[in-house]
Amino acid sequence: MTDILYSPWRLQYILAKKGKECILCLTHDSSADDQHLILYRGTESYVIMNTFPYNNGHIMAVPYRHVGRLNDLAGNEFVDLFNTVCLCEKILEKVYHPDGINIGMNLGRSAGAGIDQHLHVHIIPRWQGDVNFMTTVAGTRIIPEAFERTYKLLKEQFDNEKAEK
């Protein structure tokens, strides 16, 4: 039997008109980090909140350089990206104490990438029973924490982590 995963709350993103510019490349101006929901900037990658999250704390680690595949990354970019992913795991553990964390990438449109030309890694905290009847029956996803609060909690922890280095 095949399992089917439904995520109807993402339809808004899928149907929305997309601009020609890569939204993950439009984040180079660090003075607008709070507007772009950027939580952390490393040397070769950064962390941004997902605006169509699967759960509270759904964040993405993104290389600055516009590449679509892991093999396109230079060695230092690869290392920085996955050091950033490790940092994300650490931060999410401290802030949310999840039961588990999904870490994954969708390489290419057919693999499910909404933004297929700019590599990004999803880091999603998970809790036992976090998909409930609302998602299954009503096609509605309940994210119980406001974006502003999520941003504030995570940004504070990323800033603390950076200050400790």
Is 120 one of the annotated active-site residues of the chain? yes
Buried b (16+ CB within 10 A) or exposed e, 52-67: bbbbbbbbbbbbbeee
Query: In the CATH scheme, what is the code of domain 20-157?
Result: 3.30.428.10
Which of the following is catalytic: 36, 58, 120, 122?
120
Kindly report the pTM of this predicted structure: 0.78
How would you write the pLDDT of the chain (165 residues) with one tens digit per residue? Answer: 455 555 555 566 556 665 667 878 866 778 889 888 999 999 999 999 998 888 889 999 999 999 999 999 999 999 999 999 999 999 999 999 999 999 999 888 887 777 778 899 999 999 887 765 445 444 556 667 787 889 899 999 999 988 887
DSSP 91: H
